[in-house]
Structure 1
Amino acid sequence: MTGRQLPERLPTLEEVGAMTPGQRIFHFRSLRGYSQADLVGRMRLVAARYRRCGVDRRQISRWENGTHTPDPYSRHLLAEALGVTVTDLGLSPNPYFR
C-alpha cells in the first residue's frame, strides 16, 4: 500500500500533464480500482503472452514513489495492463518492443 488517498475529484488534463510518471501510474491504477497486487497480476498475464517475466509489488511501489522508472520492456507491460499508451504514462516507448 502506498499510503496515498484517492483524490476527491478527477484531475484536469493540465494537471495530468504536469504529473510525474509515478503519479500517472498511481492515477491510472486508482482510476481502474486496482491495488498494486492486482496490477502485478495483470502485468504477469500480459507478460505470459510474450513469454517474459512479470514484476512484483515492490517494483510498482518504487515506480509510483519515483525512486525508479520502469525499464523499456516493463513500460509496455504496464501500459497494456492499465489500458493506456506508454506516452500516456509520461514515458518514452521502446521502438523494438512488439
Structure 2
Amino acid sequence: MASAPARTGSESAEPLTFGRRLRRERMWRRWSQLQLAHRIREVGGMHRGSAELPSLLIMISKWENNHKVPSQYSLHLLAAALGVPVANLGLPVDADFVF
C-alpha cells in the first residue's frame, strides 16, 4: 500500500481567502502592515483620499484575518497600492465602479 505524499508547508487544503491573498501579496513585497498603510495613504492622495494610519492598520488587520471585507473603493485602493490587478485579490469586482 502506497502512502500519501507528505505535505509541504506551502501547500494547503484551504482555498485562498481574500485575507490570505492580501497577506501573501504584502509579505511577498516584505512589507509590514505599516508600510502597506503608508502606501495606501500615498495612492489614496491621488484619488479620493484614505483613512488615517491608525485606522488603516486596524482595517488591514481585519482584512487579512477575514473579519471585514473592503468596500469597492478600498479594494481598488489596495490593488493600486500593491500594484496588482483588482481581480488578483479574489473578491468580486463591480464592473461599474470608477476608481
- Bin the TM-score by the shorter chain: 0.7 to 0.9
Paired positions, count = 87
- Structure 1 unaligned residues grouped into runs of 5+: 1-7
TM-score normalized with structure 1 length? 0.78
The offset of 1:20, in angstroms, is 0.2
- Distance, in Å, in 1 between the alignment partners of 2:48 and 2:70 is 18
Structure 1 match to 2:31 = 34
Structure 1 match to 2:4 = none
Pair member with larger Rg: 2
- Structure 2 unaligned residues grouped into runs of 5+: 1-7
Structure 1 match to 2:3 = none
Structure 2 match to 1:19 = 16
Structure 2 match to 1:89 = 89
Runs (4+) off by over 6 Å: none
RMSD: 2.2
TM-score normalized with structure 2 length? 0.77
Contact preservation (8 Å) 1:86, 1:92:
no
